[in-house]
Amino acid sequence: MNIIMNGSGGRMGAMMATIVAEREKDRIVAGIDPKGRINAEPFPVFESLEACDVDADVLIDFSGAEAVPTMISFLQKRHVPVVVATTGLSDENMTALKTLAETSPVFQAANMSLGINLIRKLAAQAAQALGDAFDIEIIEKHHNQKKDAPSGTALALADSVNEARDGELHYVFGRRESAKKREASELGIHAIRGGTIVGEHDVLFAGIDEVITISHSAYSRRVFAAGAMKAAAYIVTKTSGFFTMDDLISGR
């Protein structure tokens, strides 16, 4: 695959360059970085997608939610399949991506790790099986440079759990301003930022005299890059449509 890397100057862009360099049949043919940062990549780096005149089989996006409108405009003109790995997407962003998917293939995931997407399924199964006998809390930890909080992955975990509970839960983000007892319908979501933590997510089910915790820890950004490459290989086989990790894992 020939790949345009949107966000090539960031941490994930650098990891993607490392992963792709190890593969014989894939290569990054262009990078996009608004600051013009170049990490000794053997490919041209453009400051915007509009300036990029390189053809590719797929665009992989690890830029930022603020760059989504410009990216969609580019994709509408070029009809290149896209893997959207950017977190912190707004409802407006998601609506625009699903509209784009009517004419172009779009793969979107808040977290590209296959492992985190597996625990999302496990957490949903646990929520359904345990019912309202267990309180549910989600705790996520990331490095001190991460901008969005809570993480897109934590919200995706919460949505999966809430869907399994028929939408009866309401989200509570921290409890500093809530001086009252916990309600049974609460789903607590908490964010920790510090150091160089790549990514940790715990879904805690607290019952009477027992606690069940479903956890995932990423020790390297390599897992996200590897997942993005799997997603890219999957999406280039499509002509249009909106796809997620559920589709990739199930082979749909």
Q: What is the CATH number of the domain that holds 33?
A: 3.40.50.720
Nearest residue to 81 (alpha-carbon basis) of 230, 225, 246, 239: 239
Q: In terms of residues, how long is the chain? A: 252
Is residue 38 located within the same domain as residue 99?
Answer: yes
Q: Work out how many domains the chain is built from and give that number.
A: 2
**CATH code of the domain containing 159:** 3.30.360.10
246 is in an annotated binding site: no
Is residue 196 located within the same domain as residue 240?
Answer: no
Domain that holds residue 171: 114-218
Strands 210-218 and 170-173 come out as unpaired
Is residue 186 located within the same domain as residue 235?
Answer: no
Is residue 10 located within the same domain as residue 103?
Answer: yes
Token couple for 208: 């009477």
Give the C-alpha separation, 117 to 108, whole Å: 12
143 is in an annotated binding site: yes
> What pTM did the predictor assign?
0.80
Catalytic residues: 142, 146
176 is in an annotated binding site: no
Is residue 54 located within the same domain as residue 127?
Answer: no
Is residue 75 located within the same domain as residue 142?
Answer: no
Per-residue model confidence as pLDDT tens for the chain (252 residues) = 999 999 998 889 999 999 999 999 999 999 999 877 666 668 999 999 999 999 999 999 999 888 899 999 999 999 999 999 988 788 999 999 999 999 999 999 988 998 998 999 999 999 999 999 999 999 999 999 888 889 989 999 999 999 999 999 999 998 776 678 899 999 999 999 999 999 999 999 999 999 999 999 999 999 999 999 999 999 999 999 999 998 998 877
CA 219, 242, 137 angle in degrees (round to 5)? Answer: 45
